Structure 1
Amino acid sequence: MTLLEVRGLTVTYPGGAAAVRGVDLTLPAGRKLGIAGESGCGKTTLALALLRLLPAGTEVTGEVLLDGEDVLTMRWGRVRAVRWAGTSIVFQGAMHSLNPVHRVGDQIAEPILLHRRASRAAARTRAGELLEQVGLSPARAAAYPHQLSGGQRQRVMIAMALACDPRLIVADEPTTALDVMIQAQILRLIERSVAERDLGLIMISHDLSVLSETCDRLAVMYAGRVVEEGPAGAGHDGALHPYARALSAAFPRVGDPASRFAPRGLPGDPPDPAAPPAGCAFHPRCPVALAGCATHDVLLREAPGDRRAACVHVPEAAPGQRPPRGTAAGPTPGAPPPIRQHPADPTGRTA
């Protein structure tokens, strides 16, 4: 059963910066999709677009189908009902996402009060249960965010995301700035919550090793587009697209002295979203670019092993090896829907 389907999503900020360009993704219920890429490749914009959390005036083309219902065409009342109850987001940087002047228990209870119509006593009880589920004492509900460590605040964010039993969780860099021990605990917590509740998960990170260990499938983004998609382990250890290979090579390998002392990076920076280069957006940095890459772009093409990549060097799979259309990321045929310009939420609320 398909939980989330993104079709031809394009997001253009005021001023003309196209942060997301024609992204297609599919996530079945109970599955985990990782999205990787450098800063500025469009990962967070994609996450915000899933629940219409983009700034006013942002132009959006495409469809975001959650259980078959297009989030981009919903009325504001319906959008507010879907947020938290249908899909919730664990934002990057818990200290900036939590309200510093409210106790964490009250912040966990707020969406329960709004979406479950629970009494205040029931909401406080539920907040304590959620804190216990994420490994914190229910007594920590009385604490303010500054009284908790970084790992504890991140656990509070996960408890908030689970508060209204959503079907989909979007985790945007949930382990940023955490030490490796706490990072491992947070990742195990997310995995356990997804498995126990049969949730869909989209995890966003620049760390391919984290995504390959946590997710079922991996999509690599560059300059607002998905350039490779396939099984998560293959995306880290056997990437097809030159950019995905460069991301993988940037991380030292345990037991490999050469990569430990001389990890390979990627020169240059991602292109300006307001002025992407002609042809393949990666060609100015690509070590294997051909002359035609500067003038002709390549869409995602099916490759062996249930994978897709947007590169002229990737051999296409034979027709019998190609998975059914719509099982994963891939270009969607047909003309895109009309551009929608997002107004500000009239309520000014996101809960």
Structure 2
Amino acid sequence: MSSHEEAPLLQVRDLEVVYRTAGGSVPAVRGVSLTLEAGSKLGVAGESGCGKSTVALALLRLLPKTARVGGQVLLEGEDVTRMRWGRLRAVRWAGASIVFQGAMHSLNAVRRVGDQVAEPMLLHGTAPPGGVEARVGELLESVGLPRWRARSYPHELSGGQRQRVMIAMALACEPRLIIADEPTTALDVMVQAQILRLIDDLVAGRGIGLLMISHDLSVLAGTCDRLAVMYAGRVVEEGPADEVVAAARHPYASALSAAFPRVGDPASRMAPSGLPGDPPDPAALPEGCSFRPRCPVAEDRCSSTDPDLWEAGGADRRAACVKVLAAEEAG
């Protein structure tokens, strides 16, 4: 067995992303580490501005030239950050693909959707000559669309249908990894449930890995095996998705979970919790713990300590909070 076969599907090690701006350097992602095995689903949660989408774009080097990237992004043991452009073009779509939110903005409005699904296959040579049309039909059917929809333009499809087309495109070259960045944000709840069920079935049936990004913990908890919560460019909690949502160890993850009403829980439905204020400006991070200005349980030492991820009740649970460290030491 080769080292590539032994390596996890995706390993992100100490990822740093700094944007160069007229006002100076802005740290958008600070030391993020994630691991995803084939056939598994990892969710990344957090408010807008916490660095989730920057992480997604960094995985396939889709960031603008103003971004400086550090750390490693290992896709089946191969570092994406060090790939030559020819190798990187081969990896995109074929090794890993991405589904963006807002399919109408991602699809070409003046091309038929079948041609757009076929494009990555033609570029990578993954469909036999003369078999592209049949393959497009198979892909559309695999995401619940009839073959004849290949002749449609994006504006002739509903929001849910367009999102299915985006997923078909992502699957076109049979990648090992799919990155889904807020894939259901613009959809109504019924269509959202259908898309999430479709994604779940495709991951289970094909044995691929899914990294799904959302601000909605309830969506991620119902879809993913593990969950990483980000705040101010860092992962502040990581663990099994259901455990993180039900019993978060970091006060930010706890507040994020409490912000969503729970079906069957009148208290949360009538008075969902929330947090005052917004995540800090990455260009002006507070001293110590970045969450301290909004934290309901902050202590004096939080103003001088920016904690790392520590074990939080088990080897598969970690949280970046001084209270977690104190509890582990006391136990």
**Shared fold by TM > 0.5?**
yes
Within-5 A mapping of 1:307-322: 307-315=317-325
Q: Give the alignment partner of residue 239 of structure 1, picking from 209, 224, 248.
A: 248
Deviation at 1:116, TM superposition (A): 2.3
Deviation at 1:79, TM superposition (A): 0.5
Residue 305 of structure 2 is aligned to residue 299 of structure 1: no
| Structure 2 unmatched runs, 5+ | 1-5
Corresponding pairs, count: 320
Deviation at 1:117, TM superposition (A): 5.1
CA separation in 2, counterparts of 1:115 and 1:291? 56
Name 1:248's counterpart in structure 2. 257
* AA at the equivalent of 1:312: V
CA separation in 1, counterparts of 2:251 and 2:237? 10
* C-alpha RMSD of the superposition: 1.5
Q: Secondary structure at the match of 1:274?
A: helix
4+ residue stretches of structure 1 with deviation over 6 A? 316-319
If each structure's helix is expressed as a fraction of its own residues, which one has the higher value? 2
Contact 1:304–1:316 under 8 Å retained in 2? no
Name 1:26's counterpart in structure 2. 35
Residue 147 of structure 2 is aligned to residue 138 of structure 1: yes
* AA at the equivalent of 2:228: A
Higher RCO structure (Cα 8 Å, ≥6 apart): 1
CA separation in 1, counterparts of 2:262 and 2:197? 21
Residue 15 of structure 2 is aligned to residue 9 of structure 1: yes
Contact 1:268–1:285 under 8 Å retained in 2? yes
**In terms of mean alpha carbon deviation, does 12-21 or 73-82 score higher?**
12-21
CA separation in 1, counterparts of 2:17 and 2:108? 28
Name 1:257's counterpart in structure 2. 266
Deviation at 1:258, TM superposition (A): 1.6
Contact 1:113–1:119 under 8 Å retained in 2? no
Deviations 1:18-59 (A, max 9, x none): 111000111111111000000000000000000000001310
Contact 1:170–1:202 under 8 Å retained in 2? yes
Residue 171 of structure 2 is aligned to residue 171 of structure 1: no
Contact 1:301–1:316 under 8 Å retained in 2? no
Name 1:349's counterpart in structure 2. none
Residue 284 of structure 2 is aligned to residue 278 of structure 1: no
Deviation at 1:227, TM superposition (A): 0.1
Deviations 1:124-158 (A, max 9, x none): 21111100010000000000000000000000000
CA separation in 1, counterparts of 2:325 and 2:284? 29
Q: Secondary structure at the match of 2:311?
A: strand
Deviations 1:66-107 (A, max 9, x none): 111100000001000000000000011100000101100000
CA separation in 1, counterparts of 2:100 and 2:278? 25
* AA at the equivalent of 2:318: R
Q: Mark the CA change 1:117 to 1:240 in structure 2 (over 3 Å): closer, same or farther.
A: closer
Deviation at 1:304, TM superposition (A): 1.2
TM-score by length of 1: 0.89
Contact 2:178–2:211 under 8 Å retained in 1? yes
Residue 58 of structure 2 is aligned to residue 52 of structure 1: no
Within-5 A mapping of 1:197-212: 197-212=206-221
* AA at the equivalent of 2:234: R
Contact 1:113–1:120 under 8 Å retained in 2? no
TM-score by length of 2: 0.94
CA separation in 1, counterparts of 2:59 and 2:243? 26
Name 1:267's counterpart in structure 2. 276
Q: Secondary structure at the match of 2:268?
A: helix
CA separation in 1, counterparts of 2:226 and 2:90? 29
Deviation at 1:161, TM superposition (A): 0.5
